[in-house]
A and B are shown apart, each in its own frame.
Chain A
Amino acid sequence: MSILVDKDTKVLVQGITGEAGSYHAKGCRDYGTRIVGGVTPGKGGSFVDGIPVFDTVREAVEKTGADATLVFVPPPFAADAILEAADSEVRLIVAVTEGIPVLDMARVKAVLRSSHSILIGPNCPGLITPGDEGRPGCKVGILPGSIHRPGRIGVVSRSGTLTYEAVWQLTRRGVGQSTVVGIGGDPVKGLGLTEVLALFEKDSGTDAVLLIGEIGGADEEEAADFFRTRMTKPLFAFVAGRTAPEGKRMGHAGAIVEGGGKGSGAWKEKRDALAAAGVKVIESAAEIGEAVLRGLKSV
């Protein structure tokens, strides 16, 4: 079992004729994902490495039965691409694009409130349900497939390469993952940490969850609250940004400490909220794998 994607998920790639789109469409397919089509307006009827390209998401969904889409469309047009996918009732929309204006995302969110589509991202590495020879997996995103292995730990993260680091530490210690979800580093985005935790809590294939947070916003505080009141599975957490100065955007648009008080998004508030809720907080990025392994043994 897994959350959001599995071997039967049929995936479109919006912006498939671009450099990143075509590269990662192939990467996902090589991993075993059913990439059933691509969308680039004006390039309908052509093929990218054998993958059929359509002019619109609607046509692509009708012809392929796709239920997920991976968005690589450049920032000025990305919000429109997400809206187009939602309009065609694609169940899962994963937006990798970095640099979408925040106002566009606020407008996308407003539209998605009355839609059944689930959005992950933007500015995210996507998600993966790891597979191996016996069990086909599914990767919808840019995460390097080779560092993952199938297993029973759910991972949810606001980061990209830090997620890879954490996953690699798990895999090297023989700890496999049920699904790894990168929700992205933007301030206004689709699924939050808490919503993914809720999915893992319900998933029979997940025994425990690793959360990778960072400074900015209040996602981690909400997750702490959710863990305390609604979660039964063990939760491990690492929060990046202990040394981040106030008022500076740390690479991710959403990674910023604003003001000194409560709700500033500072590291200490998040760490304290998680620890107070009973989450196993990991303080060193070098010890994520070891801490999870130890924690699982003691459960």
Chain B
Amino acid sequence: MKLHEYQAKERLAAAGVPVQSGLVAEKVSQIPSILKKLGRGPWVVKAQILSGGRGKAGGIEIVKTPRRAVEAAGRMLGKSLVTAQTGPAGLFVHRVLVCKAVDIEREIYAAVVMDRRAGRPALVVSAGGGVDVETLAAASPEKVLKIAFDPFRGLDRFQARRAALFAGLTGELCVPAVEAFLGLSQTFLSSDALLVEVNPLSVVKGNRLMAVDAKMVVDDNAAFRQKDLFAEGDESCLAPSERRAHKKGLSYIPLDGSIGCLVNGAGLAMATMDLLLLHGGRPSDFLDVGGGAHVDQVTEAFRILLTDKKVKAILVNIFGGIMKGDVIAQGLLDAVKKSGLDRPLVVRLEGNRAEEGRRLLNEAGLRIVAAADLADAAEKVVAASKGNP
């Protein structure tokens, strides 16, 4: 789960990281009193959406007068903001964060990530802030420092010092930088984060450090012990169909093709999508009903595909390991009966009790095309999606 900038900054501030002071507004009418509390301008008005690219898309404005601040908030609140990263529909802006503008002298990149290769968290810093660190790391690896640290103890002080010196935070900036990096580590561990990123961590006028922007991703698997964080979670970056799928415990990601895929298991689901591409089709989704899906999950998965207008044909690919073929077939028939079937459906059942399942489907007298194997299934559904049954 992604956190908003303002949520990430709250967590970081609580861990002792200096953040640019700001307040959140949900209505334009709140702006004047927020400006009073913040003190003299100029200020920055920042749209709170769970996506990047805000600056270039009009989602961040520097304003010098209260009137301009109100206007800027009015342009953002209650509307969708389209950035290079949101997709054409954009994301709805429910809140803006209003901050006191700062004079930035230098920008640093700092983040804590889960380093998969090391199997440990790692602090990543670079003296060049405001950059795309992956691009930088690929082009000039010597400009990025990564320090893996102990997942129980957190970042050690000497490691934080090394990072500070690497990022050019020397002299009187060294101790505040060490404290800030330790705060990042603490936030990462205490929030079950997968990513805590401060980009930029800025040196502002008066030689002070300040987190000007912040991003956090929290581990969905830790929802059971991060109840507060998940209670204020925002699913607005998900499509309505994605939210419905998540409620039913389905793994669903809409894509832009025309063939609906319903598969058990993530690896097989991906392999099925890839196979469609090889046969000249494109998947409309990734939809994994899991290894031990229930009938109502299959029904819901079906409904999601049928409500998607892009879907011209549907491919169900199930390899019954734990799931029994006849149970799946019955679930499919129930789902088809409930939602009606107005598009071609190709079913490929294999594995445990697959034959019994295929028999059930054939005897139902519905327009379901049974596929002999994986290649046959792909061929048939691609043909059907192009109107050649």
Contact = CB atoms under 8 A, between A and B. Distances in A.
Nearest to A284: B278
B375 to A, nearest CB: 4
A250 B120 CA distance: 22
B151 A250 contact: no
Interface in B231-288: 251, 253, 255, 263-278, 282-283, 286, 288
Nearest to B251: A251
Interface stretch (B157-165, B221-229, B359-367): B221-229
B38 interface: no
Given A100-B221, A260-B134, A159 B268 contact: yes
A162 B321 CA distance: 10
Q: How large is the interface on B (under 10, 10 to 19, 20 to 34, 35 or more residues)?
A: 35 or more
A242 B274 contact: yes
B90 interface: no
Interface string B294-328: 00000000000000000000000001111000000
A286 interface: yes
Interface in A58-75: 75
Query: By DSSP majority rule, is chain B's interface helix, strand, loop, or mixed?
Result: mixed
Given A144-B351, A188-B119, A165 B319 contact: yes
Interface string A157-170: 11111111100100
Q: How large is the interface on A (under 10, 10 to 19, 20 to 34, 35 or more residues)?
A: 35 or more
Interface stretch (A9-17, A82-90, A105-113): A105-113
Contacts, number: 189
A110 B119 CA distance: 8
A102 B275 contact: no
B264 A161 contact: yes
A286 B373 contact: yes
A34 to B, nearest CB: 22
B121 interface: yes
Contacts of A248: 253, 286
Nearest to A182: B267
A160 B267 contact: yes
A217 interface: yes
A185 interface: yes
A102 B75 CA distance: 40
A240 interface: yes
B266 A251 contact: yes
Given A143-B321, A245-B255, A159 B267 contact: yes
Contacts of A243: 255, 270, 273-274, 276-277, 282-283
A241 B48 CA distance: 31
Contacts of A105: 119
Interface in A161-212: 161-165, 168, 185, 187-188, 212
Contacts of A258: 134
B189 interface: yes
A109 B120 contact: yes
B76 to A, nearest CB: 24
Contacts of B264: 161
A255 interface: yes
A185 B134 contact: no
Given A146-B352, A254-B116, A162 B274 contact: no
B150 interface: yes
B117 interface: yes
Given A109-B120, A188-B116, 14 more contacts: A99-B221, A110-B120, A158-B267, A159-B266, A160-B291, A161-B321, A164-B319, A168-B350, A212-B267, A244-B270, A244-B273, A250-B286, A263-B134, A284-B278
22 contacts: A102-B114, A102-B194, A102-B222, A103-B114, A107-B152, A110-B150, A159-B267, A162-B267, A185-B267, A215-B270, A217-B117, A243-B255, A243-B283, A248-B286, A251-B265, A252-B267, A258-B134, A261-B134, A261-B135, A261-B137, A261-B138, A285-B271
Interface of B: 114, 116-117, 119-121, 132, 134-135, 137-138, 150-152, 189, 192, 194, 219-222, 224-225, 251, 253, 255, 263-278, 282-283, 286, 288, 291, 319-322, 350-352, 373-375, 378
9 pairs of A and B residues whose beta carbons are closest in the complex: A159-B267, A251-B266, A161-B265, A162-B267, A285-B271, A286-B375, A259-B134, A240-B270, A286-B374
